[in-house]
Amino acid sequence: MDMLASLLPAGIAVHAPALIVVIPLIMAAVAALMPRGIFAWGVTLATAIAVAVLSLNILGQVSTGGVISYAMGGWLPPVGIELRVDMLNVPLLLLVGIVGLLCVIYALPSVADEIAKKQQSLFYSAFLVCFAGLLGVTITGDAFNVFVFLEISSISTYTIIAMGAGKDRRALTASYNYLVLGTIGATFFVIGVGFLYMATGTLNIADMAAVLEQNGHDRVTQAAFAFIVVGLGLKAAMFPLHVWLPNAYAFAPNFVTAFLASTATKVAFYALIRFVFSVFHPEVNFVAMSFTWLFAVVGVIAMMVASVQAVFQTDARRLLAYSSVAQVGYMMLGLGMGTAAGLSASMLHLMNHALMKGALFMALGAFALNFGVRRVKDLAGLGQTMPASSAAFTVASLSLVGVPLTVGFTSKWYLVTAALERGWWWAVAALMISSLLALAYVARLLSAIWMETPPAGKAGLAPARRLAPWMVLAPMSLLAFANIYFFFHADPLVGLARAAANAVMGGN
Amino acid sequence: MLEIILERFNYIPIIILMMTGLYVVIATGNLVKRLVGLSLFQTSVFLLYITMGKVFGGQPPIIVGDYHGEDAGHGAEAAAGHGAEHGAGAADHAAEAAQHAAEIAYSNPLPHVLILTAIVVGVATLAVGLALVVRIREAYGTIEDDALNAADYSLETGSAE
Amino acid sequence: MWTPELSLALALAIPAIGGVAVALLGKYPNLREGATLVSAVLLALNVAYLVEIAPSHPVLELANLAPGLHLVFRLEPLGALFAAVASGLWIVNSLYSIGYMRGNGEKNQTRFYVCFCIAIGAAMGVALSGNLLTMFLFYEVLTLSTYPLVTHKGDENAKRGGKIYLSILLGASIGLLLPAVIATHYLAGSTDFVAGGLLAVNEVTPAIAGVLLVLFAFGIGKAALMPVHPWLPNAMVAPTPVSALLHAVAVVKAGVFAMLKVGTYIFGPALIAATPTSDALAWIAGISIVLSSVVAMTKDNLKARLAFSTVSQLSYVTLGVMLASPLAMLGGALQIVMHAWGKITLFMSAGAIYTATKKTEISQMAGLGRYMPWLFIAYTVGALSIIGLPPLGGTWPKLFLMQGAWESGHGLLIVALVASSILNVAYLLPLSARGFFSAPEEAKLKKKPPMLVILPPVITAAGVLVLFFLIGPLRDYLAPVFLSSSLAAEAAL
Amino acid sequence: MDHTDLTQYLDYALIAMLLAVGFAIVRLRNLFAVAMLTGVYSLLSAAWFVSLDAVDVAFTEAAVGAGISTVLMLGAMLLTARESEPAGAKRHWAALAVVVAAGAALFFAIPDMPVYGDPNSPANSYVGMDYMTSTPNEIAVPNVVTAVLASYRGYDTFGETVVIFTAALGVMLLLGFGTGRREEDEDEAPGKAKVKAGKAGKKEDKA
Amino acid sequence: MSPHLILRVVSKLLIPMIVVFGFYVQFHGDFGPGGGFQAGVIIAVAVILYALIFGMDEARRAVPPIVVRYGAALGVLIYASVGVATLFMNGAGEPLNFLDYDALHPDQGHHTGQHYGILLVELGVLTTVASVMLAIFYAFAGRVPDIPDEEW
């Protein structure tokens, strides 16, 4: 940790919280000026590397020096906007930073395949804005600033999802529906923040919590809670507010899907945790009620229903998208336990799920790159024609089921342990049933890849085509490998998750 | 009870307006009109914020009074708006202005700032949304939700054979 | 240096390296099969050493997954015995596979041998595991690595069978076994195998232990306790060496071994006896024994008949565990060994007949004994051992089980055991009779079966005979486990 | 309500008109009328903003809501359709359910909301009012809204600039740079799996 | 062409005035309502008016789309570079935070720095907003070959 903390010179390290958001934003503008896509990609790559380094440095700083508070413009909170990093949002910064970097490496061949040459630099620019928006949501300590950055990331997301229209016009309707629902969500969130402001007179999250603790809760804060949960729930694709997600993931460009699936909903979910635990208090009556009767119950329903829906999808990416909704259900369940163990299990699954879905969507992207594959049955025989990508896909999908030797097992282990600690046997049963459903839909994918014979025309491909470009293969294999590596070395992730839970739940 | 409501009369029409906007978003099948509803909804939320910051007998949060000191380097724009006044010192003037601020009731500037930002976000969303609608119109030939769903559905079943 | 720890690691490493070697040598069939055989022999030698040092309980920690979650190997006599059975039979089975796969011109042979290596490695992992988590992990690897073997043929039938195989085994293990493992971890704070029973030592109440026992009994799907047995007959679509592996060496034995291990080291005999559900489970095991024997009688397909026979024989072990007396458990442990040698003989015989004649139904096999006398003698010896006649290895487990049942006051179950033996006679011996005494349908065999499919069953049949006389050392080797276990458990309760 | 001043009656009138326009938008199906009414709605709210002392907001709302948004909607309408089809019953009830639920949550909160115009409500007595007293000392700009916007919460405004930049990115990516549409169509789909655009999509809409 | 002669003459006079008014709004933002955002809109409206009256092609010649695209990015860069500049221009030796305008004029009383900062960032906002509004207008208007007269 000390090593991470001294990664950057002190003069830069002090400003790391601001730079991690501002650098991508500046570079977004720079990328938009680039005459050719490849230059814009270079800018994007440089940015992603910088962000990854900064996020590691911030991790080092937080673990050695505790909470970082950065006063934007030198105005101390609550007057100014505060950037605040504690152990709860550090994992998210790392996640977005590092997965973002891998996705950017992956982007070059994928984007070259899917986006028109003329549009590439603007596309990368929009991606960087989205990237920065997610980081901004994660790092800010100001409730209204959350809204601003949420919208920065959302508006750019609508755009880059719509860029899938080059391949399939349904990307447009998917993006439109996301836009409408996302804006409703954001507006609900603004209403909620407005109510909180009404009740507290401040916009700083920590300050709000302090005022609320002093003044207690009334109807206004209860309404605020409801609106914020619904608003952020829409962004986080919490069941049944997930309707925008499957199509958006299914028709976006592959690179976008890989990036969004592993980061965007996670960040929204983080924001939800932040509000529920840091602004409101888990022991306040209505919050505690919402844990059991809203998060846990809805989480369990999501785990079941979305998994069943996934089983019956014909489009491979939509299948995985429904699986994502189910996985959000797991996280909701962990959150709904309302205990430190539950929350840390939820955070652990959040990180692990990013590893799985990143690799899965990247592999599907690799298939699409070579063969234009979209539907489940088109996957037939890919195990023979593209063995490396198929292997990565297999590892990640086994992880999704929760098979041992993969991180999926670790996160389920912690979820079940947390449920047992709470005495929720029904939740254990639900977790198991949902895992079996996951097995069912994963088996469809895997049996198509490995057991079917490839249709004529694919088997005879030249060896060069049989491999995805290394820029696709490398990040994908790395993520797949991480799925195994972090099973054997669970300490780093589990440690982060524990620290995150303790940061908001108190305790050691 | 009635008094409670009457003292907060401003909220009721605003809530109704918000819900009107929301209703339009959900109930309409026409993609343009849904965006209209969205902007209706947002504008009404802006009203909620602004009424929150209203202070009775207040004034717009622009501090009047001649506190404006002539500290060096503050030439151009001060001259543009105000006659440059040479006071005893900037600090004194500032104190005077602060006193002004304390004496006169002003409305709360913070919601105004927030809503300025929100308006911009709203128009940005609207622009992207409308651009999407135009593209959808070109790709599908319709902007009615039901027709779009039907087209997508037929595409799906058509290509799934 | 040749330390116990190194040897433990090698038990896993040899099959792994063997698998890699096989994969690399895929283009040269002779070298490839050579690699398989060399690995098998090396593994057997290594395991022989392990058997010798087992009483000293060496421990090897593989990885520390997280606080409270370790991957640990810990050697003890039961595991050593299972490892010995698996590794010893792997040699024979490898020889046989070579004959069978070449004789039948199967496709994808490299994949077959690689998966075989992985499966054996996983079986070693199960045998040597030092806690439930490790065992669960290798148990799952075993399931996954045998799936491509089961569906080896790749046709619709194979896929259907494979689907049932995978869904029942994974379903049971994720749905029942995993919660049981996690609950054990939650209740006891660890999942280590402890003499006298982890749960007993941690003073878990019999009621909760009873629930867990049910979860384990059905969650360990590989033990094929009814009604989670259908995967087993459905896996018969696999090539015969695989069936031999499934039914004799690795898969089902891993299941009942896990059952035995859970009974001995997680619950402990005393706690099992105290749970309210163990009686019911013992009866379910008894019913499984009889019922599947009856079903076996109705099957004309030889492999299907053998499969139901396996279901029946496996429940002996479960029965031994549920009876929870030292003798019964010892009987269960011995059953793992004896049944393995007996059943592999039968399966290899079935495969040899198929290789020679392409016949799968018993009714078609009249008079074949005249052309393949050695094979049919081997088959008969194996069958007699399964039935439990002296002087064959299969005698002892039945004897001990009966004694154990009597000892623990379940005299009625003896009837089930006896009935089963009679049914065994009724469904296993007709083939011998028909083979030797009926008139053959054809004048002579289409082709002479390769030596490599005849020799292995003969070897194992001889082994069955030898095992009868090895009972003394075996008993002495295993007895401390159950005696100390029950003593420790009594002390704890 | 111990304070009564004349502007209140203006407020009532504005509220009444806002409600009338809002309901009209729900009812009308002619998109041209709807777009114009949205502009009217924005202007009315701008008027109310002035009455609520929010002159900056009023200015912006008038310029953006009544100006830019209306022009955008008209432009989009010209490119798409003039009439909207009536809403189906299913949608109607679904919308009603959502609206009733959200509205109920809002009405539920009313009794604890601050009294209109209360200078001592939490919102008006804490950070917001701090700006009024600290701006003369710290920034010395008369318009406190500008001070807060550009300095105290300058980071938000930076975000706002990025949002508007993103809108341009989105529109440019979706519709091109305003150099005509045919050229866009040609290089829109570089991939192999080109899905056919809707049949009607190719037709120019000059209705 | 001819029917709009008066319109053209008037607008030729009007458009510069609109631009001037835009800048007034920009620089008067410190004192009264207005600021970069509103000014940007006003200036964009001036160009849009020009386009409506003299045609899209004419407008595109006056303000080419590439300028618009660069302008949008430039505004963001102006704003951000003010922030980055504050990082490097350390106040009285101690590091100042992002967007801390005091750094811009450290020697004087700190109001001046704030004034400079506000002015500069508002300039950034103006650039972006004006460019973006034009970009959006171009994009939508460019979609139809030309707007038929009878539509308006």
Number of domains in chain A: 1
Say if residue D79 is in the same domain as residue D125. no
Range of the domain at A481: 282-508
Note whether ipTM > 0.95 here.
no
Would you call the peptide bond into E145 cis, given omega within 30 degrees of 0 as the criterion? no
Question: Does the residue D2 lie in any domain?
Answer: no
Q: Which residue has the higher pLDDT, E13 or A358?
A: A358
**pLDDT at residue number A1:** 66
Question: Does the residue D97 lie in any domain?
Answer: no
User: Is residue C66 very low, low, confident or very high in pLDDT (cuts 50, 70, 90)?
Assistant: low
**pLDDT at residue number A338:** 87
Of D155, D188, D192, the CB nearest to A72: D155
How many whole angstroms separate alpha carbon A94 and alpha carbon A138?
10
Residue D194 DSSP one-character state: P
Q: Hey, is E39 helix, strand or coil?
A: helix
**Chain D contact probe: residue of B5, B134, B145, B154 with most D CBs at under 10 A:** B134
**pLDDT at residue number D204:** 38
Average pLDDT over residues E115-122: 86
Judge whether B124 and D69 are in contact, CB under 8 Å: no
Say if residue B121 is in the same domain as residue B100. no
- CA-based Rg of chain C, rounded to a whole angstrom? 21
Residue corresponding to tokens 């807060």: D148
Q: What is chain A's pLDDT, residue by residue, as a tens digit (508 residues)?
A: 667 777 788 778 888 899 999 999 999 999 998 888 889 999 999 999 999 999 999 999 998 888 999 988 888 888 889 999 999 999 999 999 999 999 999 998 888 888 888 889 999 999 999 999 999 999 999 999 999 999 999 999 999 999 988 888 889 999 999 999 999 999 999 999 999 999 998 999 999 999 988 888 888 999 999 999 999 999 999 988 999 999 999 999 999 999 999 999 999 999 999 999 888 888 888 888 888 888 999 999 999 999 999 999 888 999 999 999 999 999 999 999 988 899 999 999 999 999 999 999 999 988 888 887 788 888 887 877 788 888 899 999 999 988 888 899 889 889 988 998 888 888 888 998 898 899 889 988 888 887 777 776 655 555 545 566 888 889 999 999 999 999 888 888 988 999 999 888 865 4
Kindly report which listed range (A178-182, A211-215, C261-265, E26-30) carries the lowest average pLDDT score: E26-30
Range of the domain at E77: 2-151
**pLDDT at residue number A467:** 62
List the beta bridge partners of residue B106.
Answer: B59
**pLDDT at residue number A392:** 92
* Contact criterion met (CB < 8 Å) for B45 and A187: yes
Among C290, C288, C135, CA closest to C216: C135
Judge whether C14 and C123 are in contact, CB under 8 Å: no
Say if residue D126 is in the same domain as residue D173. yes
How many whole angstroms separate alpha carbon E7 and alpha carbon C28?
89
Number of domains in chain D: 2
At D175-191, the pLDDT tens digits run 887 554 444 444 443 43
Question: Does the residue A382 lie in any domain?
Answer: yes
Question: Does the residue A426 lie in any domain?
Answer: yes
Say if residue B41 is in the same domain as residue B13. yes
Contacts of B25 in chain A (CB under 8 A): 180, 184
**pLDDT at residue number E93:** 53
For chain B, give the mean pLDDT: 77
Average pLDDT over residues C105-118: 81
Question: Does the residue D135 lie in any domain?
Answer: yes
**pLDDT at residue number C94:** 86
Chain E, residues 73-132, CB within 8 A of chain A, namely 73-74, 76-77, 80-81, 83-84, 87, 95-102
B5-32 per-residue burial string, b: 16 or more CB within 10 A, e: under 16: eebbbbbebbbbbbbbbbbbbbbbbbbb
Q: Which residues contact B3 (CB under 8 A, 6 or more apart)?
A: none
Kindly report which listed range (A266-270, A472-476, B150-154, D41-45) carries the lowest average pLDDT score: B150-154
Number of domains in chain B: 2
Judge whether C272 and C321 are in contact, CB under 8 Å: yes
Kindly report the nearest CA distance between residue B81 and chain E, in angstroms. 7
* Contact criterion met (CB < 8 Å) for A180 and B111: no
Contacts of B93 in chain E (CB under 8 A): none
Question: Does the residue A131 lie in any domain?
Answer: no
Judge whether A132 and A155 are in contact, CB under 8 Å: no
Evaluate whether chains D and A are touching (3 or more beta carbon pairs less than 8 Å apart): yes
Range of the domain at C161: 4-492
**pLDDT at residue number B81:** 38
**pLDDT at residue number E152:** 41
Of A159, A166, A199, the CB nearest to D122: A199
Residue A462 DSSP one-character state: -
For chain D, give the mean pLDDT: 80
How many whole angstroms separate alpha carbon C61 and alpha carbon C231?
33
- Cα→Cα distances A1→A6, A90, B56, E92, E127, Å: 9, 13, 55, 32, 43
Question: Does the residue A53 lie in any domain?
Answer: no
**pLDDT at residue number C275:** 86
Range of the domain at B34: 1-56+109-161
Range of the domain at D127: 110-178
Among A355, A302, A335, CA closest to A99: A355
**pLDDT at residue number A267:** 94
At D76-134, the pLDDT tens digits run 888 888 888 877 788 889 999 999 999 999 989 888 888 888 888 888 888 888 888 88
Say if residue B3 is in the same domain as residue B38. yes
Say if residue D22 is in the same domain as residue D79. yes
Judge whether B58 and D144 are in contact, CB under 8 Å: no
**Contact pairs from chain A to chain C, CB under 8 Å:** 74
CATH of the domain at D48: 1.20.120.1200
Task: Name the token pair of B20.
Answer: 């009107």
Number of domains in chain E: 1
Q: Is A144 on the interface with B (CB under 8 A)?
A: yes
How many whole angstroms separate alpha carbon A345 and alpha carbon A335?
8
Element spanning A82, H or E? strand A82-85
Please name the residue of chain D whose CA is at the shortest distance from the CA of residue B132: D174
Q: Is D63 on the interface with B (CB under 8 A)?
A: no
Say if residue B19 is in the same domain as residue B46. yes
**pLDDT at residue number C115:** 85
Domain boundary among D86, D101, D124: D86
Question: Does the residue D195 lie in any domain?
Answer: no
Touching chains, E (3+ CB pairs < 8 A): A, B, D
